[in-house]
A and B are shown apart, each in its own frame.
Chain A
Amino acid sequence: MISQDLTTKLKTYRLSEEEYNLMKSLLGREPLPVEWPLFSALWSEHCSYKSSKVHLRKFSYRNERTPDMDGENAGVVDLGYGEKIAFKMESHNHPSFIEPVQGSATGVGGILRDIFTMGARPIMSANYLCFGEVTAPRMKYLMNGVAKGISSYGNCVGVPTVTGQTNLHSRYNKNILVNALNVGYFGPDMKMALSKAKGENNLVVYVGAKTGRDGVHGASMASESFDQDSESKRPNVQIGDPFFEKLLIEACLEVLKKDLVVAMQDMGAAGLTSSSFEMASKGQVGFVIDLKKVPLRDSTMTAEDILLSESQERMLLICEPKNFEKLQAEFKKWSLDACVLGEVQKDRKVKLMWGPELLTEIDPDLIVEKAPQYKRPYSKWHYPNRVESLPTPKIEVAKLIDSKLASFKLNQQHWIHNQYDQRVGARTAMACESSVAFARLDHSGRGLGLAVGCRPEVMLMDAEIGALDAVYYPAFQMAIKGAETLAVTDCLNFGNPQKTEIMSEFVASVEAIADAAKKLDAPVISGNVSFYNETLGENIISTPATGVVSLRETVENIIPDAFSNPFENIIQVQLNWVESWTYAEQSHNRISKFRQNSAADVPAFIKKCVGLDAFLKEKNKKISAIKAVGLGGIGATCLKMSRNNTGFDLSYDLSLEDESTLFKDVFYSFIISTGEKTEEMVKLLNGYFDELGVEVKKIGETKDGEMILSKNSKLAFKDFQTKYFKDLEAASV
C-alpha cells in the first residue's frame, strides 16, 4: 500500500508508482522536493518519448546526404555546393485546443528555435492542421484563432509560411491538431551549432526573454488526455512574442558567425530543466546553476516554477569566459539580455543552487538517458478494410456530384493561407496557391521543394496504407514538378498509447513510414510524437503527419497546378496501386473499402516522375499544367486545377464508362494539360513509363469559362464560385 501523501504526489507530478520506484532506485534514496518536478517533466511522454522510443529506432536509415546528428534538435541534409538544410516538425495540439491563438503561435516559435539553435536561418514554414466539423462547439473560434496565431507569429519573425494542409473531420471535434514545420538554411559560410555542452569552467549563459509563470507543467499537460477540466489548464499555455523571437534569431546567428558560442540549446518543453540537463547529458559534463540568477518576470516564483516554466523566446548558451563580454555586447545590440547562470564542471552532476544553498545534485543521465521506456502491447497489422474486388457503389451521379462539391475542400484553406506572409525572404517560387512549395536556395539558386503529407481519410481506411501514403503522396506531388525526394520529418499524432488498437496503428504507421522513406532513399531525419490526443476516451484519427523536402535543379519554369490555356488536351497518367471509394465526406465516420495492386512499384514510379520534366523538354514537348490526382478522383482534381476562368470538359470521353468513376480515388495518378497532339503525347508517356504498368489516356479538354464534368453536370465559373467557394470563408468571419 502506498500512502495517501504519495498518491497525491504521484498525481500532481503525473508519475506512476513504477516510475516512482525507478526514481528511487536510480537515486538510491527518496527524491528531494525539488527533484519531483525534474523527473515529472523529463519523464513525461512529451520529453522522454517513453512509449515510442523503442519503435522510433526503425527510422535509423541514413544515406550520404544525411549525417547522423546524434540527438540534435533537428535533422540535417547536406545538399552539396556547401549548402545544408535543417528541418523538423512539431505538434502543439493540446495548447492550441485550450488557447488557439497563443497555442499555435508558440508552436511556430518553438519549431523556429529548434532550427536556429542549430545555426540555420529559418527560410520556410509550413503547417499541418486538423479541425473538427465547422458546426462543432468552439470550432470556428479554434480555426480562426489558429490561423491568426500562426500568421501573426510567422509574419512578424519574417519567415514565409509557404505551404500547409487543413483537414476537417468530426473525429477532431474535441482534439484539434496543430503541427508546425520549419526548414532552416546553412549557406557555405555558416557554422552549425551543437547542443553538447563542453569545456570545464565555460559559462552557462541565459539569453532572451525573462522567465514567467506561463507554461509551468506544460510538458506533462501535453502528455495527458483531455477531460472536462481542460479549460482550467489555460494557465499552462505559454504566451509568445514574435518580435522577441526575431531579435533572438538575429542575435544568435550573429554570435555563431563571430564564433562566440560553444553550444546552444533553446528552452522548449520543460524549459530550463530540459535544456540544462540535456546539454549536460549530451556533453557528458556537469553544470552548476544558480536559479536565483534567472531573470524573472515575477520575483515570487519558486525554484520549481523556474525549473518548469515554458516562457517563450529563451535560449541557453555555453560560452568561453573570455568571449562573454563580446557575446553580451552582441545581444545588447539586439536589445536582449545575456546573463551568466553558472558554469560547466567536469564532475558529471547538475548542481542546482538557490543562492548559496544547494538544492540538489543529480547525474543528468539519470533523468535524460535512464528515463523509462515502455514496450506497450500492440498487434500485427491486418488490413481490416482491404477487399479483393471493389464494387462500384450504386449511386445517383447528380447527387454524388452535388455532395462532392458541397463538401469540397477546394477553397477551405484559401482564407487561412491568405493570412500568411508567403514571400518574405524573396526566395519563394511557389507557395500556398499550389499543392507544393518551392524556395530558391541563396547560394546555388536551386529549388528546395516542401510538401506536407498524411490524408486522414486514408488513415481511417487503413493505417499502413495511410502512413505509406503520408510519405509517398507529398513525394509524388513534388516529383511531378521535377524535384527529387531528399528527406522526411514526421509528427506522429495518436491517441492513448496504452490502448492496444492505438498502439497497433502507431507501430504499423512507424514501420510504413520507415519503409517508404527507405525505398525513396529519403531518410526520416527528425520528428515528434504526440500521444494522448483523446478527449473523454474518444481518440482522434491516427494522424502521422509528414513533411517532405525535395530538390530541383532550378526554380525557373516550374509547371503550375492550374490550367491556363483553353482548348488543350487533358491527359491522365495512372499507376494502379490502390483504388478506393471515399465519396461520403458527409457521413464522416464511414470507412471506405480499398483494393490494392501489390505489383505496383510506387517508389519506382515516383522516382521516374522526377525526370519527366527534363524528358519532355528534351523531346521539345510543352505542358502547361500538372497536378497529382487527389482524393475525389479526376473530377475533384480538375475542379482544383480550374482557375482564372479556364475550366475543362470531361464529358465526351467514352473511356469514362460510368460517370461515378469521376470521383473514384486512385493512388497514384497525375493530370497534365498540353497543347501537343494527343496520340504523340500518349505514345511518348507510355514509352517513358514503360515497364511500370501505367495507364495513359486522354480524359478531356480545357475549356473557357466552364467546368463540364459530364453531360448532365455543367458548371459556369461564376456559379461555382458563389455556390461552393463561400462556405468556409463565411465560417472564418
Chain B
Amino acid sequence: MSLKVGVARFLGTNCDDDVRKWVTAKSHTAEYLWFENQFNTNEYDMVIIPGGFSHGDYLRCGALAAQTPVMKSIREFAAKGKPILGICNGFQILCETGLLPGALLRNQGLKFKDEWATLKVNQSKNAFSSKMEKNQLLKLPIAHGDGNYYAEADTLKKLQDKEQIWLTYEGKNPNGSLMNIAGITNEQKNICALMPHPERALYEWMGSQDGMYLL
C-alpha cells in the first residue's frame, strides 16, 4: 500500500532529501511539512522527522524545533495513534516535545561520532518493525554529537516493563547511552525514534541494506 508520508522540515534540517528519496524508493509519496505551518493530520498516513541541526541546535538539540507550529500538528497526529518516526535530530526533537521520555546528552568523549553500528532489535511490535524480528541484528551508520540516551531510573524501568526499548547497540556502545539504548518507542508503540540513520543504509553500495526493514 502506498502511503502519504509527511517529512518535517525545519531550518537546518539536512536529511530531509535523504528521507524523501527513501520514502519514494519504497513507492510511497513524500511531502515536506514546513516548520512554520500546521497541517491537516487526516491527510497523512505517516510522519518522519529527519536528522540535521534544526534551528542550529541552538539552546539544546531539538529544543527550538519542539516549539514550532508543525510540532503542534505532529502532537495531534501522535494523539491519533498514527505512526511517527524520529531519526537522529528527530529523536532529540521528540524527546524535547515530551512525546518520548528521556533526553539525549553529549556523547561520552564529547566528540561527534560517525561510524557503523550493530543494533539489536529488542522488540518488533511497533509501527516501524513489522519487517523485523525480535533479536535480529541490524547494521546501520550513526553520525551524531548528542546521542547519549539518558533517563531517570524509574523511567528506564518503565521503558523496560512496557517494552519500549526498541534498538540497543550490540558490542560497542558509541556514545555512552544508558542500557546501550539506540532507539525507543512510546508506550502505544506508534512513535518510534532512533539515533542511527536507516536512510543511509538502503542498498549494498551504501554498505548495508538494513535500513529498508524500517519502512
Contact = CB atoms under 8 A, between A and B. Distances in A.
Contacts of A440: 205
30 contacts: A152-B112, A155-B112, A155-B143, A156-B57, A158-B14, A158-B15, A158-B52, A243-B11, A243-B53, A243-B55, A243-B57, A246-B11, A419-B111, A419-B112, A420-B112, A421-B114, A422-B143, A423-B114, A423-B143, A423-B200, A424-B18, A424-B51, A426-B199, A426-B206, A429-B205, A440-B205, A555-B205, A556-B204, A556-B205, A557-B205
Interface of A: 148, 151-152, 155-158, 241-244, 246-247, 334-335, 417-426, 428-429, 440, 555-558
Contacts of B202: 426
Contacts of B22: 426
Contacts of B81: none
B200 A334 contact: no
B205 A335 contact: no
A555 B203 CA distance: 10
Interface of B: 11-12, 14-15, 17-18, 21-22, 51-53, 55-58, 111-115, 141, 143, 145, 197, 199-200, 202, 204-206
Given A243-B11, A246-B11, A426-B17, 17 more contacts: A148-B111, A151-B112, A156-B53, A156-B57, A241-B56, A243-B56, A243-B58, A244-B56, A247-B12, A419-B112, A422-B114, A423-B197, A424-B14, A424-B143, A426-B21, A426-B200, A426-B206
A156 B56 contact: yes
B18 A426 contact: yes
Nearest to B53: A156
A335 B200 contact: no
Nearest to A147: B111
Contact of A335 (B11, B51, B53, B112): B11
A429 B141 CA distance: 13
Contacts of A426: 15, 17-18, 21-22, 199-200, 202, 206
Nearest to B51: A424
4 closest Cβ pairs, A-B complex = A158-B14, A243-B56, A426-B18, A421-B143
The winner among B22, B51, B143 for most chain A CB atoms within 10 A is B143
A242 B11 CA distance: 12
A253 to B, nearest CB: 12
A243 B12 contact: yes
A297 B11 CA distance: 22
Given A418-B113, A418-B114, A558 B18 contact: no
Contacts of B53: 155-156, 158, 242-243, 246
A440 B15 CA distance: 16
A660 to B, nearest CB: 36
B77 to A, nearest CB: 24
A183 B58 CA distance: 28
Nearest to B13: A158
Contact of B112 (A244, A421, A423): A421
Contact of B15 (A241, A418, A424): A424
A420 B141 CA distance: 12
A423 B113 contact: no
A425 B199 CA distance: 9
Contacts of A246: 11-12, 14, 53
B206 A429 contact: yes
Contacts of A556: 204-205
B18 A425 contact: yes
B111 A418 contact: yes
Contacts of B112: 151-152, 155, 419-421
A334 B53 CA distance: 14
A638 to B, nearest CB: 23
Contacts of A423: 114, 141, 143, 197, 200, 206
B92 to A, nearest CB: 14
A139 B199 CA distance: 38
A158 B111 CA distance: 17
Contacts of B52: 158
Given A241-B56, A247-B11, A426-B18, A420 B205 contact: no
A425 B202 CA distance: 13
Contacts of A243: 11-12, 53, 55-58
A552 to B, nearest CB: 11
Nearest to A555: B205
Contacts of B143: 155, 421-424
Given A334-B11, A424-B18, A419 B200 contact: no
A246 B52 CA distance: 10
Contacts of B205: 429, 440, 555-558
